Amino acid sequence: MSTMKVLLAAGAVTLVGAAGASAATLDDVKAKGFVQCGVSTGVPGFSFTDDAGNWQGFDPAVCQAVAAAVFGDSSKVKYTPTTGKTRFTALASGEIDMLARNTTWTLSRDADLGFTFLGVNYYDGQGFMAPNALGVGSAKDLDGASVCIQTGTTTELNLADFFRLNNMSYEPVPIETQEEAITNYQAGRCDVYTTDASGLAAARSSFDNPKDHVILPEIISKEPLGPLVREGDEVWGDVVRWSLNALILAEEYGVTSENVDDMAANSANPEVLRLLGTEGSMGEMLGLDNKWGYNIVKQVGNYGEVFEKYIGANTPVGLERGLNAQYKDGGIIYAPPAR
């Protein structure tokens, strides 16, 4: 490690220690009355502002689930838009309480940057999009291509690995936000755009003529995307982890925003009764009201409802469940039990 890196690392630790107030994030959040949640600056379906200026989408839904769990009110969230580059400083410095923004769980982010990932809300992988007019059928045909690429991402690193592995060269066109990527790509300033395949589908859904663009068949990486918090605050980490798990468990057991009242009163499944707070004290164990799980499902919906509402097959983004189906349906979405 160079002296500079040691100094930077030491600085980061001091920063986290000072701002993180260690094990007190849940208390801080309760005291201020809202969750400060980092999201992306905008990806169709995943993170966007509606006509009233409110943040919505597949990722903000995780923030809303946490607010429903903590306050019984999913609207108690303030949002901080972050880019690939700014997101980790925002979290480490204490500016945000959690990050819910298509962020890949990797070893170095976990161990070196000092964060804790709480699960996966979307299993993804990196792909390439090209205009049909370029006449490219495979990522292996991209030798010499110029590539729009977001800085501070795993995308950047995977791209370098992939081209190196295949003895090909490329010219990076670095950009910071998805919006910039789309503008540059559509203006022909890069031949191809590479990012998480979900991001490609989202970008393409915003084009005037989506069918003029092809997503190439190769998926060159694993990108498990999920929420994260600062390392060292297990109590707060548990709240975010189990809020995500509650969304997933509710779908597994067929509990929806529509039937949750009936399920809470009449379900024959003891796990459903525990999750919804009719029986047991799961909420209390988390430092929350026992109705935490009920409030999540009632106000935000279950995982499948959130998926279909924002990014599913019947939305412009049009994603199939694929790996993100429940394990019982052939996917790998799986939450540990509420017991």
Ligand X SMILES: N[C@@H](CCC(=O)N[C@@H](CS)C(=O)NCC(=O)O)C(=O)O
Binders of ligand X in range 218-247 (CB under 6 A)? 223, 225
**How far apart, in whole angstroms, are the C-alpha atoms of residue 154 and residue 162?**
12
Our CB check for ligand X shows the closer of 64 and 83 to be 83
Out of 25, 153, 206, 290, the only residue in the binding site for ligand X (CB under 6 A) is 153
Helix (H, G, I), strand (E, B) or coil at 78: strand
**How far apart, in whole angstroms, are the C-alpha atoms of residue 26 and residue 239?**
8
**How far apart, in whole angstroms, are the C-alpha atoms of residue 116 and residue 119?**
9
Our CB check for ligand X shows the closer of 57 and 304 to be 57
Report the Cα 9 to chain-centroid distance in Å.
26
Least gap, CB of 193 to ligand X (angstroms): 9
**How far apart, in whole angstroms, are the C-alpha atoms of residue 330 and residue 326?**
7
Give the range of 2-10, 37-45, 243-251, 302-310 binding ligand X by CB under 6 A: 37-45
Give the range of 38-46, 254-262, 270-278, 311-319 binding ligand X by CB under 6 A: 38-46
**How far apart, in whole angstroms, are the C-alpha atoms of residue 227 and residue 63?**
9
Out of 25, 56, 178, 267, the only residue in the binding site for ligand X (CB under 6 A) is 178
Look up residue 328 and give its amino acid: K
Residue with tokens 């525990």: 274
Question: Which residue, 96, 62, 58, is CA-closest to 79?
Answer: 96
Least gap, CB of 195 to ligand X (angstroms): 4
Least gap, CB of 50 to ligand X (angstroms): 17
Binders of ligand X in range 284-313 (CB under 6 A)? none
Beta-carbon contacts of 171 under 8 Å, excluding residues fewer than 6 positions away, are 144, 145, 146, 147
Out of 97, 191, 196, 233, the only residue in the binding site for ligand X (CB under 6 A) is 196
Q: Enter the DSSP assignment of 134.
A: G
Least gap, CB of 122 to ligand X (angstroms): 9
Chain position whose Cβ is nearest to ligand X: 199
Give the range of 41-49, 256-264, 279-287, 295-303 binding ligand X by CB under 6 A: 41-49
Least gap, CB of 250 to ligand X (angstroms): 26
Residue with tokens 């993180």: 20
Out of 36, 103, 302, 326, the only residue in the binding site for ligand X (CB under 6 A) is 103
Our CB check for ligand X shows the closer of 77 and 273 to be 77
Our CB check for ligand X shows the closer of 294 and 310 to be 310
Q: Enter the DSSP assignment of 331.
A: S
Question: Which residue, 103, 119, 71, is CA-closest to 242?
Answer: 119
Sign of CA dihedral 108, 112, 115, 116: positive
Q: Is 324 in the site for ligand X (CB under 6 A)?
A: no
Please compute Rg for the chain using Cα positions.
21
Binders of ligand X in range 75-94 (CB under 6 A)? 83-84
The site for ligand X, by CB under 6 A, has a size of: 20
Out of 25, 36, 40, 290, the only residue in the binding site for ligand X (CB under 6 A) is 40
Q: Is 150 in the site for ligand X (CB under 6 A)?
A: yes
Least gap, CB of 56 to ligand X (angstroms): 15
| Tokens read off for 144 | 């010499």
**How far apart, in whole angstroms, are the C-alpha atoms of residue 47 and residue 80?**
11
Look up residue 222 and give its amino acid: K
Query: Residue numbers of the site for ligand X (CB under 6 A)?
Result: 40-43, 83-84, 102-104, 150, 153-155, 177-178, 195-196, 199, 223, 225
